[in-house]
Amino acid sequence: MTVIRVVLQVCICILFNEIGKGLSQLFHLPIPGHVIGLVLLLLVLKQEWLRMEWLEEGAEWLLGELLLFFIPSVVGVIQFKALLAENSLGLLFVMGVGTLMVMMVTAWFVEQLYRYRRRGHHGE
């Protein structure tokens, strides 16, 4: 029973994706269909035209197994072996040092903003 329910709920997400794709093509929008699908679903849920329980389990299954869905894409790097080997040091630097810098700057910024806004609210 649970399996059928999850499959049907996943189909609702697929339906919204396809509607989004259709709209994107029809109106030649620069935004990809799945993002339009996300906005549509958000709207429908907020307006309570569709109840959360009707697709919650399916949506959580999709998000929970996200890793499975992009593994095949990663395997595709096999087509770029030479290019990657050539640039490996630079890439490791960007991904290693670059990521840590981004996180440090972001955390610092939000921490300062949070402290500032909290002081404001309490009138200290």
Binding site for another protein (CB under 8 A): 10, 13-14, 16-17, 20-21, 30-35, 37-38, 41-42, 45-46, 52, 55-56, 58-60, 62-63, 66-80, 83-84, 87, 90-91, 93-96, 98-111, 113-115, 117
Yes or no: say if 31 and 24 are a contact pair by the CB < 8 Å rule.
yes
CB of 90 to another protein, least distance (A): 3
Nearer to another protein, 1 or 90 (CB): 90
Yes or no: say if 29 and 36 are a contact pair by the CB < 8 Å rule.
yes
**How many C-beta atoms surround the C-beta of residue 7 within 10 A?**
11
